[in-house]
Amino acid sequence: MDVRNISDIAPVAEHNGTTPVWYMFPPGTMRDITKGGSLELINEFEIVGGGAVDPHTHPTHEFYYVLYGKGLMIIDGEERDVAQGDLVYIPPNKVHSLVASSPNSPIRCFCFAVAEPGAGDINYTEH
């Protein structure tokens, strides 16, 4: 499972040294696997304490960045604890779910996805 955390990454001075940038995926590193794809979505979502995302798949390269809270990420049966500052990469067509770790506290994530070439319309409401 590919999970990266900002605390493990040294910043790079960008924009003439005015802005520290922590590259979770440096420029160009995703170009080959997303070639011909399209930006499918950008959103923010929250799982209530004790809740979970229904296991599902779709033809996208999906990224969850944990804004706050703790959870259990499950991708194709592999499990890993995730928390604030973690970026999770979910490859296309892999069964995935996220479970809030605490019955009383939510986990909130920023998400974006790049669809595979020719993916067509994707139903995120029912699967």
Supply 69's token pair. Answer: 């809270």
Supply the pLDDT for residue 114. Answer: 96
pTM: 0.90
Give pLDDT tens digits for 12-21.
Answer: 999 999 999 9
- Please name every residue paired with 90 in a beta bridge, in sequence order, or none if there are none: 62
For residue 30, give every residue at least 6 positions away whose Cβ sits within 8 Å of its Cβ, in sequence order, or none. 61, 114
DSSP annotation of 6 reads G
Encode pLDDT of 74-99 as tens digits.
999 999 999 999 999 999 999 999 99
Amino acid found at 45: F
Residue with tokens 């973690």: 86
Tens-place pLDDT, residues 30-52: 999 999 999 999 999 999 999 99
Average pLDDT value over all residues in the chain: 94
Q: Please, what is the Cα angle at 22 between 16 and 26, to 5 degrees?
A: 90
Q: What six digits make up the tokens of 110? A: 């920023």
Instruction: Give the model's pLDDT for residue 125.
Output: 82
Neighbours of 71 (CB within 10 A): 28
